[in-house]
Amino acid sequence: MATILVVEDEKLLGKTLAESLRDDGHRSHWFPSAEEALAWLSTRQADLALVDCRLPGMGGLDLLDELAKSHPDTAIVMMTAHADVPTAVRAMKAGACDFLIKPVDLDAVSMVAKKNLSQRRIAQRLKHEQKAQSQRFGLHKVIGQCPGIEKAKALVRRLSALNVPAGARPPNVLITGETGTGKDVFAQAIHYEGPRRAASLVHVNAAALPEKLIESELFGHVKGAFTGASVSKRGLFEVADGGTLFLDEIGALKLELQAKVLTAIETGCIRPIGADEETSVNVQLVAAMNQDPAEWVRQGKFREDLYHRLRVVHFSLPPLRERGDDVAMLADHFLESACRKFQMDKKKFSKPALKAMRRHDWPGNVRELSHCIESAVLLAGEVIDAEFLPTRRKHGLNTDMDGSVPTIPVNFSRGPVPLENVECELIKMAMQETRQNISRAAKLLSISRDALRYRLEKFGMNGVAGNGRKAGTA
């Protein structure tokens, strides 16, 4: 049962319409003026309003504007005489969902009311679903306050605040970071915080797709394009049309496919395999890599032109071992979630457990932390101690129990220690810390990549830690 208002200055027509709608099972109210209708609406809500274009005092179009501001969820149907059809057209452009021409037919009124109430319910369900998705995947779900995470959050907020014209594409985004750092979480936040949250978010992991099928998956194919293509298939670019395509692990694409992705970005068109014509698509592309894209470009593994097209907005997510107090925040979140999932009483971590988590290098990052805590919740008692958590120190470095910066012990009692040896050991530690990533190792050492490459060659390490001379350690 819906609540419907009839705003009509002709008393007989207004009452007849209201009575007819009540016969259809609705709650209907008749008002001879816009002012009286607004007074009623000041304390109530209506699902639908039938509004005459010509009213005494405030006109029907003015009432339409007012309702659009104060009651945006109320669907509005304008009623007009034959001579006022242009007025009704203007009303439709101003936000009316339909119009009726006088003299109105009661059956037509019933059908128009039924149709627009149905559309309103669909729109409300969609709005509710969008809100639920935003609550589930929005930026507020990102846990952490370290500088790298705060910088990434700020970029997502700036993207969500952009006023992108209808039909235009939002800027491409490139997210980099080690596996498990939360690139997919940020991709979801970009979509559900942005102007395209009402459309689809299509997530495709390029590394998980068979090499022979990945082109068809991305761009589609027509029937008979290749052996086994018994029907035509839409590609994921087309499926994401109007929404967002999250292309995870884009570095797994071969160079020739990278070229096709570049063409799709530049032209807004794709050509399915075997098709004679191109298909226009409008997608926001969010790409992710767990490699250093600049280094891959240098090595010839990634197209430089695609790299620059993708990095219109670029941010890198820090590994968990560099996020400091975020480890404890995330651990508490996963602990609460796991207890709730398994319907267990609330548990807590011991101080040694918190220290162990702070010291661990977390090669699997946030994903590894989540799985470890879920396991600990199942195995431990009320208090989770360090024995239920990984205790490996960060890449074997001499990290203090409180997670402070590691040191290189040197024993001068055995004789002189050349400064070169200490420098070599420090470089080796940085390369181990970053899993041989030259760019990140250079950042840890506060030197340029070229300076680090020079030292790697100087010490005969050639980018692989462990081949150089060793410092005189205890």
Task: Kindly state whether residues 440 and 360 are assigned to the same domain.
Answer: no
Rounded Cα distance between 304 and 396, Å, is 36
Given 317, 349, 379, which residue is the final one in a domain?
317
Domain presence at residue 467: no
Task: Kindly state whether residues 220 and 347 are assigned to the same domain.
Answer: no
Domain presence at residue 82: yes
Q: How many Å separate Cα 23 from the centre of its chain? A: 47
Task: Kindly state whether residues 305 and 377 are assigned to the same domain.
Answer: no
Domain presence at residue 405: no
Handedness of CA 363, 366, 367, 369 (dihedral sign): positive
Domain presence at residue 407: no
Question: Nearest-5° angle of CA 223, CA 228, CA 231?
Answer: 30
Structural domain range at position 451: 412-458
Task: Kindly state whether residues 192 and 292 are assigned to the same domain.
Answer: yes
Q: Is the pTM of this model over 0.75?
A: no
- pLDDT digit string, tens, across residues 318-333: 999 999 999 999 999 9
Task: Kindly state whether residues 285 and 226 are assigned to the same domain.
Answer: yes
Task: Kindly state whether residues 76 and 170 are assigned to the same domain.
Answer: no
Coil, strand or helix at 356: helix
List, in order, residues 6 or more apart from 14 with CB less than 8 Å away: 6, 7, 8, 30, 31, 32
pLDDT (0 to 100) of residue 178: 93
pLDDT (0 to 100) of residue 458: 81
Coil, strand or helix at 360: strand
**Paired sense of beta strands 75-80 and 98-101, if any:** parallel
Domain presence at residue 391: yes
Task: Kindly state whether residues 390 and 429 are assigned to the same domain.
Answer: no
Domain presence at residue 290: yes
CATH of the domain at 34: 3.40.50.2300
Task: Kindly state whether residues 380 and 307 are assigned to the same domain.
Answer: no
- pLDDT digit string, tens, across residues 267-318: 999 999 999 999 999 999 999 999 999 999 999 999 999 999 999 999 999 9
Task: Kindly state whether residues 391 and 379 are assigned to the same domain.
Answer: yes
Task: Kindly state whether residues 69 and 30 are assigned to the same domain.
Answer: yes
Task: Kindly state whether residues 189 and 84 are assigned to the same domain.
Answer: no
**pLDDT tens across the length of the chain (474 residues):** 799 999 999 999 999 999 999 999 999 999 999 999 999 999 999 999 999 988 999 999 999 999 988 998 899 999 987 656 677 778 888 889 888 888 888 999 999 999 988 888 877 776 666 566 656 677 888 999 999 999 999 999 999 999 888 778 899 999 999 999 999 999 999 999 988 888 889 999 999 988 888 999 999 999 999 988 899 999 999 999 999 999 999 999 999 999 999 999 999 999 999 999 999 999 999 999 999 999 999 999 999 999 999 999 999 999 999 999 999 999 999 999 999 999 999 999 999 999 989 888 898 999 999 999 999 999 999 999 998 887 655 544 444 444 444 566 666 767 777 887 888 888 888 888 788 888 888 888 888 887 888 888 888 886 444 433 333 333
pLDDT (0 to 100) of residue 36: 95
Indicate the residue type of 62: D
Coil, strand or helix at 457: helix
CATH of the domain at 194: 3.40.50.300
List, in order, residues 6 or more apart from 212 with CB less than 8 Å away: none
pLDDT (0 to 100) of residue 392: 57
Task: Kindly state whether residues 253 and 349 are assigned to the same domain.
Answer: no
pLDDT (0 to 100) of residue 198: 82
pLDDT (0 to 100) of residue 399: 43
